Amino acid sequence: MRNICFIIALFLNLANSRAQANKTFNSIMRTTGSATMYDGYKPLMYGFADNPVVDISFPAKTWIATEGDSVYIKAWNISQDHHTIHLHGLDVDMMNDGDPMTSFELDHQEKFTYKFKAKHAGTFLYHCHTADVVHVQMGMYGMVVVKPQDPMTAWTGGPRFEKEYSFLMSELDSTWHNKPPKHDTTSMTVRIPKYLPSYFLINGKSKQLFTDTILGNTSSNIYLRLANIGFYDNQVILPAELNAWIIDSDGRPLPKARKRDTLNISPGERYGVMVNSSIAIAGSIKVNFVELNTNSIRGYENIRYQINNTVGVEQTLNNQLLAIYPNPATDAVNIGTSMAIGGTVTITNSLGQQVQWQPIVSETTLFSISSLPKGLYLVAVNYLNGGTATKMKLAKE
C-alpha cells in the first residue's frame, strides 16, 4: 500500500512539474522609437524592445504564459528618462507592481527583473507607470495573456474554442508626439496638454493599415480578447449574427455569461467575448471611440470577420463571401474575399462604368479610392473557381 501511495505521489509531482515552467521576457525601455500611421505620419514613440539594437514594437509584444508559470521580465532602461513596468490586473507584490510611488523606477542604464506567478488564466496589460499618462500615450504598453493548461479553453474548466483573437484599442494625439510633455523628476509632476487624438487604433493600426480579420467556421466558438489602454471609452458593436456572449471581465470569469450586442470598455478594462455564428457571413464589428467628458463619438474602426460554411468545398464555392472595410470609406478601402485568389475585383459607378480593377493575390485587396468622387459604387468579385460573382455596395465619403 505504501508503495502504491508513493508511486501516485511521485506521478502527481511529476505532472505538476511539467505543468509549471519558467517564462522569461526581455523588455528594453526606449524613447527613440517610431511607428507609421495610415496617412504616412511617423510619430516619435516610446516603447519596449526585445534587445537594445532593434526598434520598439508598437504596441509592445504580447507576453504569453501558462497558468502556474513563474514569469520573469528582464527590464533594462537605456533611455534618458525614468521608466517602470506596471503589470495591470495581475496579482503581484509591491516590489513588482511597477508603481514608482510604492516601489521604485529605473533610471538610465538601470536593470531590474520583475517577477510574478501566473496564478490563473486571463487577459491583462502592462505599461510604464512613470508619468503614466504621457508614457502610455507615447506607446509604452502591451498585453499579457495567461492561458490555462488546456490552451483551447478560456480558463480551467471554462468553455472551449477553435480560434482566438486579441484586439487592443488605443488612440494617438500627434501633438503629444511632436513635442512630448516633460516629466519633472524633482517635483514629480507633468504638465498635461489638451488631449485631441487624431488616430484611433486597434493593435496599433487604423484604416487601411488595420487588416486583422476574424476567420472561423459556422457553429464554432471563436474567443475574442478585447482590451482598452487608451483614454477614451470603446463602444464595441457586435452584430446579432455573431451570437456574442460576454464570458469574462478583467481576467476573471463572470458568474453568468451575458448575451450582448454592444459592449462598453473603459480605459484599462479587458473583456472576453465568445462568438458563434450559425450562418456563413462576412461583415465587421464596429468600435466607436467615445470621449469621456462629452460622451461623443470622436472616431471609429472596424474589425472584419468572415465565417465560412463547414459543409464542404463544393457548397462553399457557391457561397463566396465578400467583406468591405471601412465602409463608408474616404481614401482607401480593404476588400476581403474568401477563396478567390486568382480572380479579380472591379468597382463600378452608378452609371455602370468600371472605375477600378485589380487582380486578387491575397485574401485582402487594398484599393486607393482617394481620386473617386463621393457617392455609391458597386464592388464585384469574379472567381476563377466556378463560384458566382459576389457584389456589394461601397459608399465613398
Per-residue pLDDT of the chain (397 residues; tens, 9 = 90+): 444 444 444 444 544 444 579 999 999 999 999 999 999 999 999 999 999 989 999 999 999 999 999 999 999 999 999 999 999 999 999 999 999 989 999 999 999 999 999 999 999 999 999 999 999 999 999 999 999 999 999 999 999 999 999 999 999 999 999 998 876 666 667 788 899 999 999 999 999 999 899 999 999 999 999 999 999 999 999 999 999 999 999 999 999 999 999 999 999 999 999 999 999 888 899 999 999 999 999 999 999 998 887 643 333 333 445 678 788 888 888 887 655 566 678 888 888 788 888 777 677 778 888 889 998 888 887 765 545 456 788 888 8
Cis preceding linkage at 326, omega within 30: yes
Phi, psi of 390 (to 5 degrees): -105, 140
**21-155 and 317-397 share one CATH topology?**
yes
Rounded to whole angstroms, the Cα distance separating 231 from 360 reads 38
Rounded to whole angstroms, the Cα distance separating 261 from 301 reads 17
3-class secondary-structure state, position 371 = coil
Rounded to whole angstroms, the Cα distance separating 15 from 110 reads 38
Distance, CA of 110 to chain centre? 30
pTM beyond 0.85, yes or no: no
CB atoms under 10 Å from CB of 383, counted, come to 20
Cell numbers that stand for 339 in this block:
477563396
Contacts of 218 (CB under 8 A, 6+ apart): 277, 278, 279, 280, 307, 308, 309, 310
- Domain map (residue ranges) of the chain: 21-155, 317-397
User: Is 317-397 a CATH 2.60.40.1930 domain?
Assistant: yes
CB atoms under 10 Å from CB of 18, counted, come to 10
CB atoms under 10 Å from CB of 202, counted, come to 20
Cell numbers that stand for 211 in this block:
487588416
Rounded to whole angstroms, the Cα distance separating 343 from 382 reads 6
320, 339 contact by CB (below 8 A)? yes
| Bridge partners (DSSP) listed for residue 101 | none
| Topology, domain 21-155 | Immunoglobulin-like (2.60.40)
Rounded to whole angstroms, the Cα distance separating 347 from 30 reads 45
The amino acid at residue 177 is H
Rounded to whole angstroms, the Cα distance separating 130 from 104 reads 9
267, 233 contact by CB (below 8 A)? yes
Rounded to whole angstroms, the Cα distance separating 156 from 19 reads 13
The amino acid at residue 64 is I
The burial of 267, by beta-carbon neighbours within 10 Å (0-12 exposed, 13-18 middle, 19 or more buried), is given as middle
**Helix residue ranges, H only, the chain:** 2-19, 132-137, 174-178, 313-317
Q: Which residues of 97-106 are buried (b: 16+ CB within 10 A; e: fewer)?
A: bbebeebebb
Q: What is the DSSP letter of 244?
A: -
